[in-house]
Amino acid sequence: MGASIEVRDLHKEYHLGKVSVPVLRGVSFDVAPGEIVAIMGPSGSGKSTLLNLIGGLDEPTSGRLVVGDHSVPELGERERARYRRDEVGFVFQSFNLIQSLTALQNVELPLMFSGVPAKKRQAHAAELLARVGLDDRSGHMPPELSGGEQQRVAIARAMAAGPRLILADEPTGNLDTPNGLKILELLREMNRDESLTVLLSTHDANVAGLADRIITVRDGMLWGDPS
Ligand code: ADP
Ligand code: MG
């Protein structure tokens, strides 16, 4: 079952020396369990900041942020690490695969961190690679894969620990349109099969068009009606 997301009057300021830079200025929206929502907005509008806050990679200055039954800003350090490991799957624009590991080993990595024994995690990783259509590439190193294939490995890795939420920051940003749309279809498939919640950012209206709903961020605020 996917996680719900509740964001209320969320603020984030960065401090550069004595200067404080407001990046999110009171953002509020909800995502229902199992929804796939696209965040659009120009470069610098705060999309990555928002995803990082929801993923517990960074802390808000103020506001309410609840994912499933976790109030993310209130999690202690160990709970936050567990939240990131067990509840959230991250997908990034630049894939972020470990270059010295095979596709299969990259997918196995989160399972290793969760203490799953070798045989079991190899079998599960192989199954996930098959699901993203890469069973014949499991022994390849990332540089031997196309961008679209690398992103599919990254999605398999994001799914490995059985998350309730996928956060994908411009997952198609380094891909051409056909490959980008394939990645979105794959995210949709995961979203449907596991009723996973998916929140992604994108510049591409074609990509966003495949989401259930689009949220637009501009200058750190939501634009239009987010509901
Ligand atoms: P987007 O993903 O929509 O392009 P970001 O969330 O990356 O936008 O950035 C929003 C704003 O916050 C930008 O002006 C950026 O320069 C600023 N910003 C992002 N991260 C930091 C940081 N660690 N320190 C200072 N400013 C930052
Ligand atoms: Mg960004």
Using pLDDT thresholds of 50, 70 and 90, give the confidence band for residue 220.
confident
Beta-bridge partner residues of 201 = 39, 169
The share of the chain scoring above pLDDT 70, in percent, equals: 98
Q: Report the top-level CATH class of 1-87+163-227.
A: alpha beta
**CB of 49 shorter than 6 A to ligand 1:** yes
> Which of 100, 121, 105, 187 is CA-nearest to residue 148?
187
Atom of ligand 1 nearest to the CA of 41: 3
**CB of 12 shorter than 6 A to ligand 1:** no
Residue 223 above 80 pLDDT?
no
Using pLDDT thresholds of 50, 70 and 90, give the confidence band for residue 224.
low
Average pLDDT value for the chain: 93
Using pLDDT thresholds of 50, 70 and 90, give the confidence band for residue 226.
low
The protein residue whose alpha carbon is closest to atom 12 in ligand 1 is 23
Residue written as token pair 């953002």: 27
Q: Where are the domains of the chain?
A: 1-87+163-227, 98-162
Q: Region 126-133: what's the mean pLDDT?
A: 95
Q: Which amino acid is at 151?
A: Q
**CB of 51 shorter than 6 A to ligand 1:** no
User: Who's near 125: CB < 8 A, 6+ residues apart?
Assistant: 104, 105, 107, 108, 111, 138, 156, 160
Using pLDDT thresholds of 50, 70 and 90, give the confidence band for residue 227.
low
Q: What CA–CA distance (Å, rounded) separates 62 from 59?
A: 9
Q: Which ligand is nearest to the CA of 39?
A: 1
